[in-house]
């Protein structure tokens, strides 16, 4: 049995769909459903049981779950604007550390979500080189909470006994409950639908025109294909970036939405909130050299192909869930 924490969340629920597709339904889902619409992400998934996050650790530590193959730990507060540092330490760092220690003691496979937010402003690059990892300076507390666990695993010399994934800009179906943390695809689609226009932040650097800030975008369906490989192939050990390995602009992304809707491109560039100006990343790019030589069934989908699938097969539907 595999345990998937954050299984009702965005990437977690799409991973459940991938696992079901591969014939796995002996799964335990852990999450905190609360009052959001996140529960809808679980409706079409097959799994053995569900446990609330606050109840999970005591049950795990009491060995209430027999025959565990491994744990995928995606459960965390993913808000980059969360300011309660103590909450993030408990929820993202201490919780992860406890699960990791259990998995290590039981010699179970452990795959966890780190974040590209650990790279901060990117001045040190976007490599998972462990010599660089201690020097990284995240720009927000969320990124730091993820960095803390990476550093703990590094100090304990246990990164070679687990897989940590630094997700870049992942987007796609089942992210609807994330409110302001949804992708620009989801938010811009709503703007275009209601106003016929999309909004992007102005640039405040002379070397970047408005909307020409770049990101490494990856469709969630491609992301979970890789996560599945991390789960099932023991050769993967350590920290890995997970992005497309190429940059595209916010303008490219939004133009793909207009194209998927067969509408003329209309973009308004709006002022960036003062609270974001000092923390805004103008360039991210995952170092994906680890993928060279790795046998894969298909390349990642293009940005245009992915956005078209997301818009036409999900966002425009009355029930947009995967």
Give 300-318 pLDDT, tens digit per residue. 999 999 999 999 999 999 9
320 within domain boundaries: no
CB 216 within 8 A of CB 302: no
pLDDT tens string 96-113: 999 999 999 999 999 999
Q: Which structural domain, as residue segments, surrounds residue 196?
A: 174-215+246-282+302-315
Looking at the structure, do residues 95 and 200 belong to the same domain, yes or no? no
Specify whether 144 is located in the same domain as 6: yes
Count: domains in the chain:
2
Same domain, 132 and 68: yes
Rg of the chain over all Cα atoms, to the nearest angstrom: 19
Q: Same structural domain for residues 107 and 165?
A: yes
CA atoms within 13 A on the CB side of 220: 23
Say which CATH number the domain at 205 has.
3.90.25.10
Residue 294 lies in a domain: no
Residue 295 has pLDDT above 80, yes or no: no
234 and 253 both lie in a single domain: no
154, 189: one domain: no
CB 130 within 8 Å of CB 239: yes
For residues 13 and 7, give the distance between their C-alpha atoms in angstroms, rounded to a whole number: 5
Residues 263 and 142 in one domain: no
The reported pLDDT for the residue numbered 297 is 62
Instruction: Determine the Cα–Cα distance for residues 253 and 267; give it in Å rounded to an integer.
Output: 11
Instruction: Give 245-257 pLDDT, tens digit per residue.
Output: 999 999 999 999 9
Instruction: Please classify residue 43 by burial: count the beta carbons closer than 10 Å to its beta carbon, then call 0-12 exposed, 13-18 middle and 19+ buried.
Output: exposed
Is 295 within the bounds of a domain? no
Half-sphere exposure (CA, 13 Å, Cβ side) for 155?
Answer: 8
In a domain, 201, yes or no: yes
Q: What percent of the chain has pLDDT over 90?
A: 91
Residue 276: per-residue pLDDT:
85
pLDDT above 90 (res 287): yes
What is the rounded CA–CA span in Å between residue 1 and residue 21? 16
Considering the domain architecture, whether residues 159 and 225 belong to the same structural domain is answered as: yes
Active site residue 237: no
Is 178 one of the annotated active-site residues of the chain? yes
Averaged pLDDT for residues 262-274: 96
User: CATH number of the domain that 111 lies in?
Assistant: 3.40.50.720
Same domain as 252, residue 236: no
Residues 231 and 265 in one domain: no
Residue 254 included in any domain:
yes
Contacts with 48 (C-beta within 8 Å, 6 or more apart), sequence order: 1, 25, 26, 27, 28
Shared domain check, 111 and 70: yes
Q: Is 288 among the domain residues?
A: no
CA-wise closest residue to 253 among 140, 172, 166 = 172
Burial of 206 (0-12, 13-18, 19+ CB in 10 A): exposed
pLDDT in tens, 73-89: 999 988 887 889 999 99
Active-site residue identified among 40, 97, 108, 178: 178
What is the pLDDT at residue 293? 76
Between the alpha carbon of residue 11 and those of residues 42, 72, 105, 172, 237, the distances in Å are 12, 11, 27, 9, 20
Q: What is the pTM of this model?
A: 0.95
pLDDT at 278 over 90: no
In this structure, the answer to whether residues 254 and 116 fall within a common structural domain is: no
Q: What pLDDT, on a 0 to 100 scale, did the predictor assign at position 146? A: 97
> Which of 226, 242, 258 marks a domain boundary?
242
In terms of pLDDT, which residue wins out, 277 or 135? Answer: 135
pLDDT at 112: 98
Q: What are phi and psi of 198, to 5 degrees?
A: -120, 155
Phi/psi of residue 111, each to 5°? -120, 125
Is there a domain that residue 40 lies in? Answer: yes
Q: For residues 238 and 165, what is the distance between their CA atoms, to the nearest angstrom?
A: 9
Q: Does the residue 297 lie in any domain?
A: no
Give the pLDDT score at 64: 93
Supply the pLDDT for residue 72. 98
Q: Which of 119, 126, 142, 228 is catalytic?
A: 142
Min mean pLDDT across 28-42, 73-87, 147-161, 221-235 is at 73-87
């Amino acid at each position: 049995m595999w345990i998937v924490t954050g299984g009702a969340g965005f990437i977690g629920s799409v991973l459940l769909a991938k696992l079901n597709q591969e014939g796995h339904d002996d799964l335990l889902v852990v999450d905190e459903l609360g009052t959001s619409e996140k529960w809808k992400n679980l409706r079409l998934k097959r799994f053995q049981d569900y446990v609330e996050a606050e109840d999970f650790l005591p049950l795990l530590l009491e060995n209430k779950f027999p025959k565990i193959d491994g744990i995928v730990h995606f459960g965390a507060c993913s808000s980059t604007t969360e300011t309660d540092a103590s909450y993030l330490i408990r929820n993202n760092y201490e919780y992860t550390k406890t699960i990791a220690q259990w998995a290590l003691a039981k010699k179970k496979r452990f795959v966890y979500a780190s974040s590209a937010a650990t790279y901060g402003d990117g001045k040190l690059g976007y490599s998972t080189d462990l010599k660089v990892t201690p020097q990284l300076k995240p720009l927000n507390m969320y990124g730091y909470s993820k960095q803390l666990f990476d550093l703990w695993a590094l100090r304990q010399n246990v990164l070679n006994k687990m897989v940590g994934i630094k997700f870049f800009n992942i987007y796609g179906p089942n992210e609807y409950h994330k409110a302001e943390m949804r992708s620009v695809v989801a938010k811009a689609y709503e703007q275009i639908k209601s106003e016929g226009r999309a909004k992007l932040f102005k640039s405040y650097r002379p070397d970047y025109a408005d909307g020409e800030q770049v990101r490494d975008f990856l469709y969630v369906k491609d992301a979970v294909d890789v996560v599945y490989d991390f789960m099932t192939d023991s050769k993967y050990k350590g920290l890995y970036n997970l992005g497309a390995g190429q940059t595209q602009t916010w303008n490219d992304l939004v133009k793909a939405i207009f194209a998927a809707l067969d509408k003329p491109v209309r973009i308004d560039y709006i002022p960036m909130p003062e609270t974001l100006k000092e923390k805004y990343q103008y360039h991210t790019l995952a170092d994906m050299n680890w993928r060279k030589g790795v046998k894969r069934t298909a390349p990642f989908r293009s940005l245009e192909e992915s956005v078209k699938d997301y818009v036409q097969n999900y966002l425009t539907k009355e029930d947009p869930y995967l």
